[in-house]
Chain A
Amino acid sequence: MSGLPILSLMLAIPTVAAILCLFLEAKPARQVALAATLVDLALGIALWANFDVGGAQWQFVERADLFGRFQWALGVDGVAMMLIVLSTFLMPLCILASWESIKQRVGLYMAMFLIMEVIMIGVFAAQDLLLFYIFFEGVLIPMYLIIGIWGGQNRIYAAFKFFLYTLLGSVLMLVAMIAMIREAGTTEIPVLLNYDFPPEMQTWLWLAFFASMAVKMPMWPVHTWLPDAHVQAPTAGSMILAGVLLKMGSYGFLRFMMPMFPDASAQFLWLVFGLSMVAVVYTSLVALVQSDMKKLIAYSSVAHMAIVTAGLYAFNQQGIEGALIVMLSHGVVSAALFFCVGVIYDRLHTREISRYGGLAVNMPAYSLFFMLFTMASIGLPGTSGFVGEFLSLAGIYEASSWAAFVCTTGIILGAAYMLYLYRRIVFGELTKDDVKAMPDITPREWAIFVPLAAVALWMGVYPESFLAPMRGDVTTVVARLAPAKPAGDAHVMAGKPKAIAPHGEAHHGGGVQ
């Protein structure tokens, strides 16, 4: 590109702003944080605009030999770029979402969010294995503090659980990384991506990475930290946790486990499919019986992420592209849903579903947005959810019709729990006095809802803008996996096209073929 180290700049701006925020009063801290995240959003859009679709696999590459043993190596491919754009898109909205609800220690709060942004961009941009690990693990500290300081009633339990669960998963990955570096003799991710590890070693490496990524995703049965963390975290914390942090796990699957350990990936296909199938159905059923809004959406996140894993492990173009769109779509939609919860939580200070009802009467604009995001979560055509789910299910079907069958059941259940949630909160009689007194959304909340809604619809109507930069990377991964790819049970065969008959004979020969 033009030589401007845009990725380093995107990391530097929030870092500086975070340090500044630590020393500022509440009001200027909010403004600084918003300004910094908006600048980063602008840079993120510039990244997207300047990304050369069909060009080099790694773009905006930066290298600086700062650390001796490993490098300050940044660069993005299409997938990483889209996830960075997602992070920068959600950040200003998170800052806005906590504009009024956070009143204590605002400077520290804003600093923690800005550091989160640095870490998220770093995770997706890192081109060095150790640099990646440092960012990947680094997320623990700000998230621990965000949940622990500004969380709900049971925040301390949730913060500990989040911290220790994810740490335990990650440390095993560290040992695997050391073994990889030793075997391949390099820490550079682009080189490692094409390194053929011996098959037995791949098995162990895959399992160690799986321990980390499965917790981060989270996959059933190691998902239990997520509902706790979501329920206790402040609204913006949940938004960023569901929106971006969960994507780190699936990014890890796509970036590391599949291309680096293709044989092991094929070997453990059954495990990923099995866990995903259980997760889709089980967590959807659990979501159905939740009485806490945030918990319900948290469980729905687990179900959606299970479709991502299944889609990724379909090992084909549609499956992986679909999984990526589900990731982006879920990033936007779940953040929006958590914000929907936050809006009414700010007014009534309860997450109990039964305390609400009839909001359609006094909060029509809110109900409209909530409806849109509910539909997007279900996967209604025209919204982002549909594109991703359809593509990934098509891919899964090609790999395993049973998995596709079970995962589709999950989508039906998804419709059930989301519509049930929507009915209980928005429809029904408006009987409770305190609910009656709730005002409709404020301009600040409009400013958050509108971009989220616009993107959810854009992704649903014209997903090509999002898919185009990622297509080449998916092709690369699929090609890398091809030798190890097991035969699916779909038995796809070339169709028998009708013979193109001259016009006159079309009448006779048409159906005989």
Chain B
Amino acid sequence: MIEARQLTKRYGDKTAVDGVDFTVRPGAVTGFLGPNGAGKSTTMRMIIGLDAPTSGTVTVNGRRYARHAAPLHEVGALLEARSIHPGRSAFDHLMALAYTHGITRARVTEVIALTGLESVARKRAGAFSLGMGQRLGIAAALLGDPQTIMLDEPVNGLDPEGVRWIRNLLTGLAAEGRTVFVSSHLMSEMALVADHLIIVGRGRVLADTTVGELVRQAGGDTVVVAAADPAALRRVLAGPGVTITGQPGSEQLSVTGLSARAIGLTAAEHGLALFELTPKSVSLEEAFMDLTKESVEYHSATTTARAA
């Protein structure tokens, strides 16, 4: 359980995190989503006390992270930036962290096996590929058997096999009742694993919602249907939970709340001819882009500048 209350971080006159409130609950994967520069990494650094908040608080299981007797047993974190000495082997790196808590050598061996690093555990971590480095970071995060696992952009640089491994790991950890908090700037990735979403932009929380709710708010699943007699079709489709929109004089209607199959069957039942029946689902990506459009830090130019 992670609770942030009015959490704020300023660097000089730039506000990286601006009065953020959220709660991350156990037993679910919570996605922390936002464009680059939205304050995700800064928030995560504040959670484990690497950065001190300018104001506001953030607690883990009811206490500030540094106040726990066994911090690695409360939160296991993988930060976006590499946090290893390249001259040390993976095993020695994990062992050095394990010693601080009295974690056994057997547990170190266990997380090495869990993350598939057995063959390279004695090699210098500096020679690791991006994917191996990421696995080592996850091994370190799991080391203390933490109640809360927090991963900053874990799939960055991973191959498809690694991405799938992370997905299974995250859902598995949540199923064990742990709190899983994962950041990403890719909606498509989050949609596959996250139960809950906290969307941020420019240091503020834009939405604290579920994947399903976000889709519904963004327009839900719409079916476009064209008929010879749109007015008659409207009458037979109308019902609770069904929204129908259309332009006057146009044969096309947009229907939400009914599947394409249900619309086709109803039309056939009433002998109404249809010319088009197209399910249009709003992509999560679009819903996300819509939400964060205002707060993207660096817009890319969509038009080519004309040479002066």
Binding between chains A and B? no
B residues engaging A (CB < 8 A)?
Answer: none
A residues engaging B (CB < 8 A)?
Answer: none
